[in-house]
Chain A
Amino acid sequence: MSKPTADWERVGDRFYRKTQLYTSVFDPDLEIENYVVTGAPYSGAVAIYRDTSKIYSFRGSQTAKSSIDLYSCAGRLIRQIPWEKGAIRALGWSEDERLLVVTEDGTVRSYVDLQGDFTPFSLGHGSEEHGVQACKFWATGFAALLGDNTVVIVTNYDEPRPHVLAAPPSGEVVSWAVIPPEHTSSRSVEVILAIDKTIYVTDAVECEDRGLEAGPFRHISVSPNGEFIALYTDDGKVWVISSDFQMRFSEYNSKVKTPPRDLQWCGNNAVALAWEDEVHLVGPNGAATEYFYNSFVHLLPDVDGLRVLTNDVCEFVQKVPEASEEVFRLGSTSPGSVLLDAVDQLEKKTPKADDNIQLIRQNLDEAVDVCIRAAGQEYSIHWQKQLLKAASFGKSVLDFYNSDDFVDMTESLRVLNAVRFFEVGLPLSYDQYIRLTPERLVQRLVNRQDYLLALRVSEYLHLPVDRIYVHWARQKVRTSASNEDMICEEIVRKLNGKLGISFEEVAHAAYDEGRGKLATDLLEHEPRAGKQVPLLLRIGEDSVALDKAIESGDTDLVFHVLLSIKRKVPLASFFRTINSRPIATAIVESSAIDQDRELLKDLYYQDDRRVDGSNLLLSEALSASDVGPAADKLKMAAKLLRDSKDHATQVAALEDAQKLLRFQEAFEKDLGERFVGLSVNDTISKLIKMGNMKRSQKVQTEFKVSDKTFWWIRLRALIVRRDWRELEELSKTRKSPIGWEPFFNESLGAGNPKVASLYIPKCTSLTMPERAEMWIKCGMISKAGEEALKAKDRNMLEDLRTKATGNSALDIDRMIAQLQKGR
């Protein structure tokens, strides 16, 4: 077995290693130097297409057809996407392995799961006019540079919404790069552009000149963690600076006349420069190493390293992880290294094994940890086993050790080794695996239609498997040639009883394939009512969709269905659809009341809901600004109901309303005051306040206002008017339908005890003490005394005596005396 350190190179004070992942990657005939090559993050698929600006040898019309080819890292062709759409300006990947193709005219196609299906959108913002020059991609979005130096960014592929950044100055953009939003302080994308001799940084708000002089900069590259920027200066130097342009960390002189073809970061610590068949790796402080290849190289940067792709090899260059360095470095005496040696000795059955253990006894747990971590970083299964053996051996010596990490690592390694297998071709490093998460790894397997492996991995790691089944079923629906019933049966058989299967997605796929019946059949199995709705609508099963929407309880969904039905069918059948469904009717009514009264009228008419129809007209009458139209509407409202006996009172009310309006109009003309808008009672009240007794009585008789009510209105109006004379006059009337107490209360309340007192004697129904109390309220103690005297209430008199002063005191005294005398 070759030593793990065989492919290590020292760069400055660190080691870098170059791991050969796969060999004979591409067809030797493929002239990879003539292709543009981009790789998806986390060791994902590689997309290549022929660079149209390069000359290539003609090999018949077959190969001349242009296409975008998707390969795995091991060179397995995953899919070929034929391309006739126009000049491709950029090809890029998102972190969920979505392929984006940007053409010169600003059209973007987004291919979701390595299949041929795509969703297109346009960049706009003048991209048709000026043309797209180039694009830079990051995990969740990309920036496009247009011919007029406008930068358009898209930050979300699910709902792409291109934005323009602040305009940079004109001039040729020598090179450029983006800092993804997650790494900037402003949380928005920043784009770095090398124009002339300097560098501009632009974001949504402003474009700033960083005032550098060493340009033009041939290459700019931003490190994966967004903290550093590597620049290639005009005089052949590589600068590494901080991304806020405040610090310069290192400088390296390549001493090569031709500028490199590509400059990329390798992890966050080193920068790789690529010429045709040569790669320079520049570490911190300008230390460097060089790699030479037999053929043309492409650099595919990843989060923790760099993939190097040539026609026949795929290699991974990365900084040697700390754990590996600790264990394997020549001459290392670290506990981990000693432990590994101990296992060797153990296999040779020498007692040195125990000596080794004793040597590192103090740090044994640390040694085990290191071995486990180092195992994760190894690509060679032999060394993985060796390291795990060491860890297991060390662990057995320890009294207490939590084996979780060990178990997790063995699980992870099993998965990693499985997916690194050349037929799968996902050479994930351990760090990439952790960042990608097992769930998304499974998704990638599913996208490659490796269903069995995906299922095995999911089951092994206890992940949900429903997505895999659904994807499988969708694929089945798309490609299977057997008849629809059989497909449905097969899918249902396979998916039945599995938790959380979304049949709706499968049905959707079926519908998109034009298999309407299959779609309906499959939809029947969808457990979520709400999810069935959109597809049902598209299929044209409107009333089923409406029922399902109602069933789901989501009124938004119901409303949505209603809107789309209303758009599709004539009004009459729309009403027929809703009138058997009260919730739908309620929603239509409550939305129409604000927006569409005509619709409501039609609805009421069709359903023969006369009262509602009449009320609607009444409401319109209220909205009318003038009396005339209001009266007309009222007339119509009354007419609607006149035929039916049940609504006689409502008709009467509506007619009264018209009558009142007529009266009020007349009063307005005669008296020059505003009456319209007042109620019957208020009209009477206003007339009385204006001293128009006659007219008020006319209103009373016309509207049959009861005497009681009328008297109350009169009383309150007179009080407001402070018409004490009239009130006195009233006190002389024989009878009041509301009694006299209200007169007393209101007068007193209005601050006129004198008038109030006039009513006290008339309150004959009240008891003596109550009346006495009324007198007291008016401040007439002696009158109260008289009441008491009449009732021969000695106690009350005594009581009154304490309240009384002056004359009334004398009066009370006299009464007390009288009472005593009387006895």
Chain B
Amino acid sequence: MAAHSAVRAINSQEITEKARRDLLHLLEGVRGKKNLVIEKSLAGTIGLFVKFSTLQEYGVDKVFFLENHNVDASQRNVVFLVRGENAKKARMVAEQIRLVRSESQTDHDFTVIWVPRRTLVSNTILEEHGVLGEANIAELPLHFIPLEHDLLSLELENSFSDLMLRKDPTCVWAAARALMLLQKQYGLFQRILGKGDNAQRLADLLQRMRSEEDVNASSDPNNSTLTSFGLTPSSVVENLIIVDREVDMPTVLSTQLTYEGLLDEVFGVANNQTEVDSSVLGGASAPRPDRNSSPAPTAATKRKIHLDSSDKLYPLLRDNNFATIGPTLNRTARRLQSDQQNIKQSDQSIADLKTFVSKLPAHQAESASLNTHTSLAQEIMKFTQSEIFGRSLEVQQNLLAGADPSTMHDNIEELIARGVPFRAVLRLLCLESCLNNGIRSRDLESFKRQIEQAYGYQHVLTLANLERMGILVPRESHRGYLNPIASTAGSTTTDTNALRRALSLWIDDIAEADPDDIAYTFSGYAPISVRLVQAVLQKSHLHNLANPPKPGAPSSAPSGTGWKGFEDVLSRIRGATVDVTQKGSDADASAARKTLRGSKEGPKTTVVFFLGGVTFAEIAALRFVGQQIGEATGRRLVIGTTSIISGDRAMAVAEEKRKFGE
């Protein structure tokens, strides 16, 4: 897969190793045994690169969640591991230090490790609480965490809500810092492309940071080396494509139909892990040695399942359309069975036996994995075969394919009346709004009333949040759909109908088992975000989809780099369009470098960065694109994101979870 070859370009292993080293080094710095107090959202992230047993080796006695407020005084050393950007969390740290100090007899040593940096605000807060002098302060520069070889995430779970709902650009800054680190290591990204206002902001920040870097580097007394940073464009990274989540909300709202996407939809995947009822995995899991988690003592317990490329089968399954999962699992089962039978049937020589035994562990791991995934697939199947899922999907696909939204209203109303899960209904309504620049005011009012009645009046707030996020809004008569001639489209609204044609967002006949286009990820719908990436990297493919070439006629596909050939389409999408070419400040040096590289071709990696989160289906689609361009031109794709998002998580951001009288 393209994923694996990308390692040579941007080394994700190295990032993991460094994060691990940094953390352990900090823990080592606190002498003796210590209690670790960790922010909940960080716990999973930390778990991605360091095991609990390793932490224990480094003297961690007990681990507490910051949010639980239950730190005890059992150890002299208390280490906090918290994100420093979050004032609320900083306040919690201060309060807990005060609490432990006042309640405990012993003289405690507090250490606060801020992730990824120590902030002025955290200083102020600790000072206000009078604990700044008490605590040793350290920083753990944790930026990108590789979830896979080709997938780097900042794991900022609030990034979506911060950007969309609260309009708080903290994560843009965090992203800029992380990308800056990549640039420091691999050189300047030769070209920064992007779509969306926040993408513009990020690109501006990158430019600004680059100019400030020179000053910083030399005025930092610790930095004694002569930095040549900022001088040379990267020999590894060709493009940075920034996709602002605001630009492509329909994709988030649609139901993902890849295996991994559905796992996320049904069970939720966080930090490469999912939690399922152990009853789902059934008795089949009992006899085999369980490497993932402790055996479940009771039926009702949850079990954690690791989902990453260390699994035998998962890499083969994750990015495929769910419809093809059954056959694949079947094939695997048959193969394993025949392997087993081979050994039973014929009388074997000792040598044969030996080779078989040596393969046994792998064989067992594979069949264990088969078991797990079969159970998971069955559970997903239960979900996808339900009538309600079918109805929602029908509405969704019709909307995506460009059907008149008003024909869908009866269906949606029925779903509301039947009390289907709240988020599913919201997703459909938001999808309609996003695709058509809003819902007709009268219809929207009626939907709002029905929702408030069906799910409770607290959702007045939910609906207000969605409006604030701009994904459930009344259609304004002077713009968009009703008035397509007005050329206001482009800056604030997206002309989806035009896009549908120009970018072939809907593909009617899609071969899910042997796909030839990314639309397989949503069984027909091709995510706008990935189409944008294709507009840069696969111009002719995209062009041919929209205008099938006549046999014999010369191809009129656009060529060139950057957005070339698709400027018109981009102007029909909301938000700013970014296109910056970064040149080294020292032209001679870059020229010399080029000469040194000689005949070798230029850099080939493209980093696609999602500002506000990426869905698993998009990841699958991008991997598909990566594979195609990898085969054709040897280029590679690496995906960066602030977090992993899904429709339900997006809705949860807006959802008011309280009820009256509770």
Contact in complex: A681, B661 (CB < 8 Å): no
Contact in complex: B212, A205 (CB < 8 Å): no
Contact in complex: B121, A556 (CB < 8 Å): yes
B window 155-198: CB within 8 A of A: 162, 166-170, 172-173, 176
Contact in complex: A555, B169 (CB < 8 Å): yes
For residue B80, give the distance in angstroms from its CB to the closest CB of chain A. 16
Contact in complex: A679, B387 (CB < 8 Å): no
The answer, yes or no, to whether A437 is at the interface (CB within 8 Å) is: yes
A616: nearest chain-B partner, CB-CB: B461
A188: nearest chain-B partner, CB-CB: B31
Contact in complex: A712, B215 (CB < 8 Å): no
A window 175-233: CB within 8 A of B: 186-188, 203-205
Report if A630-B660 is in contact (Cβ < 8 Å); known contacts: A555-B168, A649-B445: yes
Contacts of A501 in B (CB 8 A): 215
Contact in complex: B387, A745 (CB < 8 Å): yes
Contacts of A466 in B (CB 8 A): 218-219
Contact in complex: B453, A705 (CB < 8 Å): yes
Contact of A625 among B172, B215, B224, B662 (CB under 8 A): B662
Contacts of B413 in A (CB 8 A): 708-709
Contact in complex: B215, A657 (CB < 8 Å): no
Interface of chain A, main secondary structure: helix
Contact mask A500-530 → B, CB, 8 Å, 1/0? 1110010000000000000000000001111
Whole-angstrom CA separation of A124 from B32 in the bound complex: 24
Contact in complex: A528, B458 (CB < 8 Å): no
A window 438-463: CB within 8 A of B: 439-440, 443, 462-463
Contact in complex: A500, B660 (CB < 8 Å): no
Contact in complex: B457, A590 (CB < 8 Å): no
For residue B88, give the distance in angstroms from its CB to the closest CB of chain A. 5
Contact in complex: B31, A204 (CB < 8 Å): yes
The answer, yes or no, to whether B87 is at the interface (CB within 8 Å) is: yes
Whole-angstrom CA separation of A712 from B413 in the bound complex: 11
Residue among A556, A611, A685, A703 with most chain B CB within 10 A = A556
Stretch from A50-58, A71-79, A349-357, A557-565 that touches the partner? A557-565
Whole-angstrom CA separation of A626 from B662 in the bound complex: 8
The answer, yes or no, to whether B305 is at the interface (CB within 8 Å) is: no
The answer, yes or no, to whether B579 is at the interface (CB within 8 Å) is: no
Contacts of A595 in B (CB 8 A): 87-88, 91
Interface residues on chain A, number (Cβ under 8 Å): 86
Contact of A677 among B219, B419, B662 (CB under 8 A): B662
Contact in complex: A559, B169 (CB < 8 Å): no
Contacts of A656 in B (CB 8 A): 452-453, 457
Contact mask A651-684 → B, CB, 8 Å, 1/0? 0111011001100000000000000111111100
Q: Compute the total of residue contacts between A and B using a CB distance below 8 Å.
A: 198
Contacts of A285 in B (CB 8 A): none
For residue B215, give the distance in angstroms from its CB to the closest CB of chain A. 5
Whole-angstrom CA separation of A685 from B454 in the bound complex: 10
Contacts of B656 in A (CB 8 A): 619, 622
The answer, yes or no, to whether B394 is at the interface (CB within 8 Å) is: no
Contact in complex: A611, B464 (CB < 8 Å): yes
B165: nearest chain-A partner, CB-CB: A590
For residue A43, give the distance in angstroms from its CB to the closest CB of chain B. 19
Contacts of B448 in A (CB 8 A): 649, 653
B224: nearest chain-A partner, CB-CB: A439
The answer, yes or no, to whether B56 is at the interface (CB within 8 Å) is: no
B119: nearest chain-A partner, CB-CB: A556
Contact in complex: B169, A623 (CB < 8 Å): no
Contacts of B216 in A (CB 8 A): 528
Contacts of B120 in A (CB 8 A): 556-557, 559-560
Whole-angstrom CA separation of A109 from B618 in the bound complex: 59
Contact in complex: B464, A187 (CB < 8 Å): no
Contact in complex: B464, A615 (CB < 8 Å): yes
Whole-angstrom CA separation of A108 from B414 in the bound complex: 76
Whole-angstrom CA separation of A463 from B660 in the bound complex: 67
The answer, yes or no, to whether B136 is at the interface (CB within 8 Å) is: yes
Report if A653-B460 is in contact (Cβ < 8 Å); known contacts: A205-B32, A470-B219, A680-B453: yes
Interface size classification for chain B: 35 or more
Contact in complex: A467, B219 (CB < 8 Å): yes
Contact mask A672-701 → B, CB, 8 Å, 1/0? 000011111110010000000000000000
Contact in complex: A615, B461 (CB < 8 Å): yes
Report if A630-B418 is in contact (Cβ < 8 Å); known contacts: A559-B121, A611-B464, A653-B457: no
Contact in complex: A527, B212 (CB < 8 Å): yes
The answer, yes or no, to whether B314 is at the interface (CB within 8 Å) is: no
Contact mask B111-128 → A, CB, 8 Å, 1/0? 000000001110010000
The answer, yes or no, to whether A380 is at the interface (CB within 8 Å) is: no
For residue B59, give the distance in angstroms from its CB to the closest CB of chain A. 12
Contact in complex: B137, A159 (CB < 8 Å): yes
Report if A437-B31 is in contact (Cβ < 8 Å); known contacts: A528-B212, A583-B169: no
B window 354-405: CB within 8 A of A: 387
Contacts of A556 in B (CB 8 A): 84-85, 119-121, 170, 173
Report if A563-B124 is in contact (Cβ < 8 Å); known contacts: A188-B31, A464-B226, A703-B453: yes
Contacts of A563 in B (CB 8 A): 121, 124
Whole-angstrom CA separation of A123 from B659 in the bound complex: 54
Contact of A553 among B28, B208, B414 (CB under 8 A): B208
The answer, yes or no, to whether B205 is at the interface (CB within 8 Å) is: yes
Contact in complex: A679, B166 (CB < 8 Å): no
Whole-angstrom CA separation of A159 from B139 in the bound complex: 14
Contact in complex: B659, A712 (CB < 8 Å): no
Contact mask A469-480 → B, CB, 8 Å, 1/0? 010000000000
Contact in complex: B445, A590 (CB < 8 Å): no
For residue A706, give the distance in angstroms from its CB to the closest CB of chain B. 8
Contact in complex: B661, A630 (CB < 8 Å): yes
Contact in complex: B456, A679 (CB < 8 Å): yes
Contact mask B632-662 → A, CB, 8 Å, 1/0? 0000000000000000000000001011111
Whole-angstrom CA separation of A203 from B32 in the bound complex: 11
Contact in complex: B218, A499 (CB < 8 Å): yes
Contacts of B212 in A (CB 8 A): 527-528, 530
Contact of A554 among B166, B173, B417, B460 (CB under 8 A): B173
Contact in complex: A677, B211 (CB < 8 Å): no
For residue B282, give the distance in angstroms from its CB to the closest CB of chain A. 23
Contact mask B479-493 → A, CB, 8 Å, 1/0? 000000000000000
Whole-angstrom CA separation of A682 from B417 in the bound complex: 11
Contacts of B414 in A (CB 8 A): 708, 712, 738
Whole-angstrom CA separation of A713 from B414 in the bound complex: 11
Residue among B124, B172, B457, B662 with most chain A CB within 10 A = B457
Contact in complex: A618, B460 (CB < 8 Å): yes
Whole-angstrom CA separation of A505 from B458 in the bound complex: 53
Contact in complex: A589, B166 (CB < 8 Å): yes
Extra contacts besides A466-B218, A611-B464 (9): CB < 8 Å: A470-B219, A500-B214, A554-B173, A560-B120, A583-B169, A653-B449, A661-B661, A677-B456, A709-B413
Q: Which 4 pairs, one residue from A and one from B, show the smallest C-beta to C-beta distance?
A: A657-B457, A676-B661, A500-B218, A679-B456
15 CB-based A-B contacts, threshold 8 Å: A159-B137, A467-B219, A528-B215, A556-B121, A560-B124, A590-B168, A618-B458, A622-B662, A626-B661, A627-B661, A630-B660, A653-B452, A654-B460, A657-B460, A676-B660
Residues of A with Cβ closer than 8 Å to B? Answer: 159, 161, 163, 186-188, 203-205, 437, 439-440, 443, 462-464, 466-467, 470, 499-502, 505, 527-531, 552-557, 559-560, 563, 582-583, 586-587, 589-591, 594-595, 611, 615, 618-619, 621-627, 630, 649-650, 652-654, 656-657, 660-661, 676-682, 685, 703, 705-706, 708-709, 712-713, 716, 738, 745
